[in-house]
Amino acid sequence: LLAALLAGAMIGYERSYHGRPAGFRTHALVCMASAVLMLVTVYEAHWVKTAADSVRLDPTRMAQGIMTGIGFLGAGVIMKDGLSVRGLTTAASIWITSAIGVLIGIGFYIPAGFAVVLTLGTLSVFRWIELKMPMNYYAQFIIRFSVSQAMEEPALRKLVADHGFSVANLSYRLDRGADFYEYRMIIRTIEMENQSRLSAMLSQLDSVLEFRIAPTGD
């Protein structure tokens, strides 16, 4: 149980360090709970008094139940804000932490140790690699103009393209009562710095009533 507590705490600390809602205590309890439940099946002979051949128990069913139950906890940390989905990595870390608890519960300490090292490496080293890898960054872009000063679509597309973005899709909204014309689109770029450049440019346009650039990453 102490080994499971330590393994979960190590993974949970990495999540807490990066400000995730399910962190140090959550992961420690998940790993220890999984180990506790597996101990129930490992030492079933001590609490199930049956004849040797009359009843056969399947310890793997407990592991299946743990993995099913952990899905509810993982779903609780996944949050959707518009087109942005956050918490997927934390949910995956809770899942692997539970699996590590299962390994410790049945006494597979060496595979569990390797799993802890690989999990921490994935959460930390892979984060650094991900930041270095070239990839497309997506953002939801909403911009409003007054009806009389609304920018034409070709001009807006050119403005976005000049700042290193391409438009994935585009929708329109007109509200004459509130006197605004709105564009909504998903834009993508390979350089995160382009978002601040585009934001600075839009802030200087008097015709822009408001705008929003919201990244869609985890």
Residue 45 is classified by DSSP as: G
Q: Where are the alpha helices (DSSP H) in the chain?
A: 2-17, 24-42, 60-76, 88-105, 109-132, 153-162, 193-203
State the pTM of this model: 0.68
Cα–Cα distances in angstroms (integers) from residue 55 to residues 81, 124, 218, in the given order: 51, 46, 48
- pLDDT per residue as tens digits for the range 88-133: 888 889 999 999 999 999 899 999 999 999 999 888 888 788 777 7
pLDDT tens, 53-72? 566 667 778 888 888 888 88
DSSP 8-state secondary structure symbol assigned to residue 96: H
Q: Which residue has the tokens 């060496």?
A: 110
Q: What CA dihedral angle connects 141, 144, 147 and 149, to 10 degrees?
A: -90
